[in-house]
Amino acid sequence: MISSVRHAVSPFPSSGFLTQRRSLAKPRFWPLPIIRNEQLNLNHSVSPQKPIYISSVETFSPLPAAKIQKREVVCNAYEAADRPLEINIELPDEQAAEAAQRIKIGLYFATWWALNVVFNIYNKKVLNAFPYPWLTSTLSLAAGSLMMMISWATRVAETPKVDLEFWKMLLPVAVAHTIGHVAATVSMSKVAVSFTHIIKSGEPAFSVLVSRFLLGDTFPLPVYLSLLPIIGGCSLAALTELNFNMIGFMGAMISNLAFVFRNIFSKKGMKGKSVSGMNYYACLSMLSLLILTPFAIAVEGPQMWAAGWQNAVSQIGPNFVCLSMPLGAAIAILGTFLYSQAKQ
């Protein structure tokens, strides 16, 4: 118990305080009231394994001065399991779906790469038997365009909704695509497929350099440093190639430069156009076909094609030449579709 001490007032008047003997009264003790928590209610079922959270603390104002001053503090608590906690936890189903999506994208890219390799091998076989790259490029675009028109007519693929403005925007892209396509085919007709692709692997270097010096784009230092092994590897491959051919080398280099401009024109001109990747490539092939056909006739011509056809028939037979070119176009279109699916 806590007690307080009070000193009683001296009974002597103030006038005799100096002459009288000072005496102090004995201290008197008054007990203070014991503060009790009237609303204390202990819940003995509280588990020590669960944390206790303070929900509210209320302090009541003191009673009037005539009564004994008294404060009461009310504390409400609850166990953690009594109220739900907001915790973001990734469920196993979401993790499995994300992993499946990554695997799906990886398979798309792997299949696209494999089809690209097969397409180039078939192209090389055709060029070995029929060494006319301008006609080969033209027939490849024609076969792809025909296949897509049949797909649209039979509603296998959705017909794109395009207007005149779309074709105007697509024209510079098609010009660059035509140049790159023919240049790559000319390169493969003169050198090995592997050498052509080694040189074409330098396309990122062309992209960075064109964007830097023509468009004014800037890149961090690691990007420029990453170009050194690309340029060095292409240079080493060119120096050590046993069957080096300048036309084949220049064709691959021109193809790199043309495809860089194709990508730049495509990004700038096709913003806001709602056309799927496969339909976009089909429209691009059709417009490139219209651009390439007169140039192919002017460069090679029907007389050279007739002579080459007779030579191919005498050596291999007509079936190989006829089937190889539309098979290559089909592989290219399927590969483009898979690549567009992977990008989405």
Overall residue count recorded for the chain in this entry: 344
Region label for 114, one of left (φ > 0), alpha (ψ between -120 and 50) or beta (otherwise): alpha
C-alpha 91/C-alpha 113 separation (Å) is 34
CA-CA distance, 158 to 332, in Å (whole number)? 19
> Is the pLDDT reported for residue 186 higher than 60?
yes
Helix axes 164-190, 193-200, angle to 10 degrees: 130
Q: What is the pLDDT of residue 254?
A: 94
Mean pLDDT, rounded, of the chain: 74
pLDDT tier at 98, thresholds 50, 70, 90: confident
Annotate 252-284 with DSSP letters as a single string. HHHHHHHHHHHHHHHHHHSTT----HHHHHHHH
pLDDT reported for residue 182:
95
- pLDDT tens-place string over residues 219-258: 888 888 888 888 888 888 888 887 888 999 999 999 999 9
Which of 75-84, 157-166, 224-233, 250-259 ranks highest by mean pLDDT?
250-259
Strands, DSSP E only, in the chain?
3-6, 28-31, 52-59, 73-79
Residue bearing tokens 């690309």: 230
Looking at residue 126, its pLDDT comes to 83
Asked if pLDDT for residue 299 goes beyond 70, the answer is: yes
The answer on pLDDT for 141 being more than 80 is: yes
Distance CA(322)–CA(335), nearest Å, equals 21
**How high is the pLDDT of residue 2?**
43
Task: Provide the CA 251 distance to its chain's centre, in angstroms.
Answer: 32
> Long-range contacts of range 36-43, CB-CB < 8 Å, 24 or more positions apart?
37/72, 37/73, 38/72, 39/72, 39/74
Specify the higher pLDDT residue, 50 or 260: 260
- Over range 293-300, report the average pLDDT: 95
The pLDDT value recorded for residue 237 is 83
Per DSSP, the chain holds a count of helices (H) and strands (E) of: 10, 4
4-24 pLDDT per residue, tens: 444 444 444 444 444 444 444
Please state, in angstroms and rounded to a whole number, the distance separating the CA atoms of residues 228 and 233: 8
- Asked if 103 and 342 count as a contact pair (C-beta separation under 8 A), the reply is no
Q: Looking at residue 61, what DSSP letter applies? A: P
Distance CA 328, CA 133 (A): 14
Look at residue 180 in the predicted model and tell me its pLDDT: 94
How do residues 17-72 score in pLDDT, each as one tens digit?
444 444 444 545 445 454 444 444 444 455 555 555 555 555 545 545 444 455 55
pLDDT at 324: 54
CA distances 267 to 162, 176, 214, 260, Å, are: 17, 13, 15, 11
pLDDT at residue 307 tops 80: yes
Instruction: Calculate what percentage of the chain has a pLDDT beyond 90.
Output: 20
pLDDT of 103 strictly over 90:
no
- In angstroms, the CA 104 to CA 114 distance is 15
Q: Has residue 333 got a pLDDT over 80? A: no
| pLDDT in the model for residue 253 | 92
Q: How far apart are the first and last CA of the chain?
A: 79
